[in-house]
Amino acid sequence: MDVRVSPLGSPARSSAFLAPEAVRRVGLVLLETDLTSERDFARLTHGSGVAVYANRVAFSNPVSAESLSALEERLARAATALVPEAPFDVIHFGCTSASAVIGDAGVEAAVRAAKPGARVINPMVAADAALSALDVTRISILTPYVPDIARPVAERFAALGYAVDGVTCWAIEDDRDMARIKPDVLVREAIAATAREAEALFISCTAVPAAEVVALIESEIDRPVVTSNQAAAWMALRLCGVDHDVPGGGRLFSRPLAGDVQRGSA
């Protein structure tokens, strides 16, 4: 059997190939135990024209300050393994509690060491941008964490200038269990966790499948709901120049990213 070879020319110069930067790319650095983030990003970015790639970073439960802090030294290696040498628009470190414990500067330094050309975001940065886009200054917080992990998340929002009207936590120590919470339970708990004075509810943790029920919770509490994965997907899309709404994504997806965030460092 004859095999015909049709030369396309050099990938570096031929018009037969897309330029490396022609496709907008988002990279996810996720905990190896995460069962939720990829599913949420797949739904929230579907049809956007943005390509999403994920890699995992080693993590050992239970969720504690020590196990979260240990992630910092592993981030650069995990980010490096995200399609080596391919350009990325945005790299998202998908762990809310670790971002609060490590801090934005630590997360950004580790990821930029591997992908210097990408914007670096994490759920705390994305949630702040989301709440700002929604003109919210008073929030209630719902987390699956033990109190010692819920506290740094709440303190981070307070340090950013938000009034925190109540913090609710479930004291779950394994993020694989956090991913198994039923939708009706999430809605019930979200309603109970929202203080009367709060302008919005933030549901913390990339493991919790809350992005799936954002619209339903909003209809019950009549206020915006921001979740870790929803906010990160929204911010990543906006940084890639995608401004369309997402059915079921909540009120957030009707809002643009603030101009100063768009231009400045994430």
For the stretch 90-138, pLDDT in tens is: 999 999 999 999 999 999 999 999 999 999 999 999 999 999 999 999 9
What residue segments make up the domains of the chain, in order of their start? 25-122+231-263, 126-228
> Which residues have CB under 8 Å from 125's CB, separation 6+?
99, 104, 235, 266
Side-chain-facing half-sphere of 149: CA atoms under 13 Å: 28
From 21-30, 154-163, 192-201, 255-264, the region with the lowest mean pLDDT: 255-264
- Has residue 24 got a pLDDT over 70? yes
In Å, how far from its chain's centre is CA 20?
25
CATH of 126-228, one of 3.30.450.40, 3.30.1330.30, 3.40.50.12500, 3.40.50.300: 3.40.50.12500
State the DSSP code for 5.
-
**25-122+231-263 and 126-228 share one CATH topology?**
yes
From 43-57, 60-74, 85-99, the region with the lowest mean pLDDT: 60-74
C-beta separation of 201 from 194 below 8 A: yes
Quote the tokens at residue 188. 């019930």
* pLDDT value of position 223: 98
Q: Helices 72-80 & 104-114, crossing angle to 10 degrees?
A: 30
More confidently predicted of 65 and 214: 214
* pLDDT value of position 9: 76
**pLDDT band for position 258 (cuts 50, 70, 90):** confident
From 60-74, 86-100, 226-240, the region with the lowest mean pLDDT: 60-74
Residue 197 host element (H or E): none
* pLDDT value of position 18: 79
Average pLDDT, the chain: 93
The three-class DSSP label of residue 168 is strand
- Has residue 262 got a pLDDT over 70? no
Q: What percent of the chain has pLDDT over 70?
A: 97
pTM: 0.92
Nearest to 91 by CA among 60, 63, 130, 55: 55
**pLDDT band for position 261 (cuts 50, 70, 90):** low
- Has residue 265 got a pLDDT over 50? no
Nearest to 234 by CA among 57, 61, 43, 95: 43
User: What mean pLDDT do residues 32-54 have?
Assistant: 96
Give the fold, CATH level 3, of 25-122+231-263.
Rossmann fold (3.40.50)
* pLDDT value of position 22: 77
How far apart CA 221 and CA 200 sit, in angstroms, is 9
